[in-house]
Amino acid sequence: MIQISILSGKGGSGKTSVSAALIGLIAQEFLLTLVDADVDASNLDLLIPSAIQNEYDFFGGKAAEIDNDQCIHCGVCEHVCRFHAIKQNQSSSSLNPILSVDPLLCEGCAVCAQQCPQAAIAMRVQKDGVWYISHSEFGTFFHAHLFAGHENSGKLVSTIISAAHEHASSNASQIILVDGPPGIGCPVIAACNQSDLAIIVAEPTLSGIHDMQRMLDTTRHFNLPVFMVINKFDLHDQNTETILEICRQGDIPVLGKIPFDPQFNQAMIHAQPITQFSPTSFSSKSIQQIWHNLKKRMVF
């Protein structure tokens, strides 16, 4: 079993569309388990229709909670909270203020709880999101929803990828395909953690090249074998050539180039991978070639 993570270093490069297109092809030949690791803004299910089978709560962090009956109004907690999460209730008297913690501002650092002379502050586990196991025509699908303003997306990504590995082992899936999160932060590191190889989807723009280089630095740090796909390569020949030159210098195999294709939008509107919606289009043919090139390099 191998885990392939599709990454981009940024949003908007077409990573999810390419992931869905590859899923449509891989599932024709291999038993597949799918993961959408973009837990902040999960959207693979727009292209891979699925039905939720199981739903689980995710408890990632803790938030402070004040017991106002124990409080002696010393003001220490308000003073030490550098995130300004502790507020006095406007309607309470200045002599006897009621304190509360804004859960959206609280970072769960527990400094207030440690400094409170009355031990009036407890750290409570909070529900940060939910994750799902769904059924799709391409394989069992693991995805999640992190609540707005809540942290620990890296931990949630690790949770669903570990669950996907457990499932893949028990049902003999040969490939786990992870549609990775954007950026290079904790969620991406969590996605890289159990990966056997990564595919970077880069677009030929200045910001696309910059983010691709940051992604390359990240994968290099984890010694992760990496392959390149250039999306919308025909939008800017010079920038595409720059990406190819970076790959030549870094000895990074280029699996293929995908042309700009409005059919991608149509495929999205019809909630299908492009390789299923329009299998004879130029973009589908280039993705078929990418899958062919990847398959030759995969070692099970």
Q: Of 20, 39, 116, 184, which lies in the binding site for ligand SF4, with binding defined by CB under 6 A?
A: 116
Is residue 122 at the binding interface for ligand SF4, with CB under 6 A as the rule?
no
Q: Which of 11, 31, 107, 174 binds ligand SF4 (CB under 6 A)?
A: 107
Distance of alpha carbon 207 from alpha carbon 11, whole angstroms: 11
Q: Which of 31, 98, 109, 224 binds ligand SF4 (CB under 6 A)?
A: 109
3-state helix, strand, coil split of the chain in percent (to 5) is: 35, 25, 35
Q: Is 152 in the site for ligand SF4 (CB under 6 A)?
A: no
From the CB of 189, what's the least distance to ligand SF4, in Å?
23
CB of 147 to ligand SF4, least distance (A): 17
Query: Is residue 37 helix, strand or coil?
Result: coil
Q: How many residues of this chain interact with ligand SF4, rule: CB under 6 A?
A: 28
- Closest contact distance (angstroms) between CB of 116 and ligand SF4 is 3
Task: Indicate which single residue of 25, 34, 101, 190 sits in contact with ligand SF4 (rule: CB under 6 A).
Answer: 101
Residue 122: CB atoms within 10 A of its CB come to: 15
Strand 121-136 versus strand 32-36 pairing type: unpaired
Q: Residue 65 or residue 196: which is nearer to ligand SF4 going by CB?
A: 65
Question: DSSP string covering 55-119, please?
Answer: EEEEEEEEEEEE-TTT-----HHHHH-TT--EEE-TTS-SSSPPEEE-TTT-----HHHHH-TT-
Q: Which of 46, 52, 72, 206 binds ligand SF4 (CB under 6 A)?
A: 72
CA distance 221 to 244: 21
Compute, in degrees rounded to 10, the torsion defined by CA atoms 164, 138, 216, 39.
-60
- Please give the torsion angle defined by the CA atoms of residues 77, 78, 80 and 83, in that order, rounded to the nearest 10 degrees: 120
The reply on whether position 118 binds ligand SF4 by CB under 6 A is yes
Measured distance between the N- and C-terminal CA atoms of the chain, rounded to whole angstroms: 6
Among 28, 46, 59, 75, binds ligand SF4 (CB under 6 A): 75
151 part of the interface to ligand SF4, by CB under 6 A:
no
Q: Judged by CB under 6 A, which of 6, 23, 48, 106 binds ligand SF4?
A: 106
x-or-dash string of contact with ligand SF4, 25-64, rule CB under 6 A: ---------------------------------------x
Contact flag: residue 128 with ligand SF4 (CB under 6 A): no
b/e burial code for range 223-233 (CB count within 10 A of at least 16 → b): ebebbbbbbbb
Q: Which amino acid is at 162?
A: S
Among 32, 86, 156, 201, binds ligand SF4 (CB under 6 A): 86
Query: Which residues contribute to the site for ligand SF4 (CB under 6 A)?
Result: 64, 66, 71-77, 80-81, 83, 85-86, 99, 101, 106-112, 116-118, 120-121
